[in-house]
Amino acid sequence: MEIRPQKNYTPAFQAYYKSPFAKQFEKVLQTGEGQDELVTKFKKVFTEKKNAKDRIGIGSWGSVFRIDDYYVFKVYHNQKPELNGFKKNNNRKFDDLKTYSGKVLARIGNIELIKNVTRDKNKFTEMAKPSDDGIPRYLRALKEFASLPQKAFDNLAMDFKKLNEIKDPNLFYRFDTNNPNNFIKVGDDIRIVDDIDWVPTEEPNDLFNLLRIFIHKEGDSEFKKEIFKKCLIASENANLPMEAAHKYFKKFMDEMCQFANSKKNFNEIFEKLTEIRTSNKDSATKAKEITDFINEL
C-alpha cells in the first residue's frame, strides 16, 4: 500500500479534526445503536471523500481515503462499492500488535473502516522502494528511518515475533514486507498499515523479511548500515528466526549485507549470532556480545 502525504493539514497547535461521522461511528462501536443512521451518513461521506484529493493510499488490491484526522476507509479495486449494512469487526487476534495500524474496525457493506495511521501529518514518512518509488524518494526515506531510535526497530521486531505466534491450524500470518510503503515512520515510531497476509509457512516474519523492507542496492550506504545494524539488534532482542533466511535466501541476504557495506557476509553473521544464541551465557552477557559484534560490522 502506497501512503500519500495527507491533505488539509491541521497545524499542531490546533485540535485534531474529528468529523461528526467519526463521533457517531465511535458511539456505534461502543453501543451498537444507531447503525442504520450511521450507514446513511456514511453514504454522504463516501460520495464526498472518494476522490483524488482525499485518497492517501494506493495498493495492489485497493485504495484508502481519508475521512478525517482519526479514520479512513478502504475500497477494493475488484469490488463494486456496496454501502448497505454495518458490521463491527470482533476479531481480536491482532489487538496486541503495538505497531500495526491496519486493523479493520468495521465494514459498511464491503467498505472497510480503519483508524488513521497518524493524526500528526507533519510527522509522516513512508518507507520507499527505489524500483517503484524512485531513488530520490528512497534516499529521503532512508535518512528518516535511520534517525529512528533502536526502540522503534525493537517494537517492530517484537510484533514480527508476536505475529509468528498467532496461528490457526495450518494457517500462519505475515506482514506484507514486499511493499515497503506499508511501513510508516510516525514521529519516533514505526507503524504498519494494510492487510496482514495468511501463508502456509511457519514463522514467516523472520530476519529476511525484516531487512528486505529497508535494504536495497541504491541509496546512501551509511544510512543503510545504520538501519541494518538496528534491524539485526532488534532481531536478536526478539529472537526472530533466521534459519530459513540462511537456508533459502542466502544469496539475497549476502546482497543486503553488501548493500549495507557490512564487513561480513551473511554466513559469518549467521554463524556468530547462532553461536551466541545457543551459548550457556547469561542474557546480559549475550546481549553485550551481540551488540559489540553487530556494531563492528
Cβ-contact 281, 220 below 8 angstroms: no
User: In terms of pLDDT, which residue wins out, 120 or 216?
Assistant: 216
- Please give the full DSSP string across the chain, using - where no structure is assigned: -EEPPPSS---TTSPPP--HHHHHHHHHHHH---HHHHHHHHHHHHHHH-STTTEEEE-SSEEEEE-SSSEEEEEETTS------EEE----TTTT-SSB---EEEEETTEEEEE-S-S-TTS-EE---HHHH-HHHHHHHHHHHHTS-HHHHHHHHHHHHHHHH-EETTEEEE--TT-GGGEEEETTEEEE-SPPEEESSSS-SSHHHHHTTT--SSS-HHHHHHHHHHHHHHHHHHT---HHHHHH-HHHHHHHHHHTT-SS-HHHHHHHHHHHHTS-S-HHHHHHHHHHHHHT-
pLDDT classification of 228: cutoffs 50, 70, 90: very high
pLDDT confidence of residue 2: 52
The rounded distance, in Å, linking the Cα atoms of 110 and 75 is: 8
pLDDT confidence of residue 4: 53
pLDDT confidence of residue 13: 46
Residue type, 226: E
Region 269-282 average pLDDT: 96
Region 180-184 average pLDDT: 93
pLDDT confidence of residue 16: 86
Beta bridge partners of 224: none
Cβ-contact 193, 57 below 8 angstroms: yes
Region 164-186 average pLDDT: 93
User: In terms of pLDDT, which residue wins out, 8 or 135?
Assistant: 135
Region 71-90 average pLDDT: 94
User: How much is the mean pLDDT over the chain?
Assistant: 92
Q: DSSP 3-state assignment of 109?
A: coil
pLDDT confidence of residue 1: 57
Is residue 103 pLDDT above 80, yes or no?
yes
pLDDT confidence of residue 6: 55
Is residue 12 pLDDT above 60, yes or no?
no
Assigned C-alpha cell, 35: 447503525
Region 208-217 average pLDDT: 98
Is residue 9 pLDDT above 70, yes or no?
no
Assigned C-alpha cell, 216: 536495497
Region 138-153 average pLDDT: 97
Region 4-17 average pLDDT: 55
Region 281-292 average pLDDT: 95
pLDDT classification of 60: cutoffs 50, 70, 90: confident
The rounded distance, in Å, linking the Cα atoms of 238 and 156 is: 9
Non-local CB neighbours of 151 within 8 Å, separated by 6+ positions:
188
pLDDT confidence of residue 8: 47
pLDDT confidence of residue 11: 42
pLDDT classification of 118: cutoffs 50, 70, 90: confident
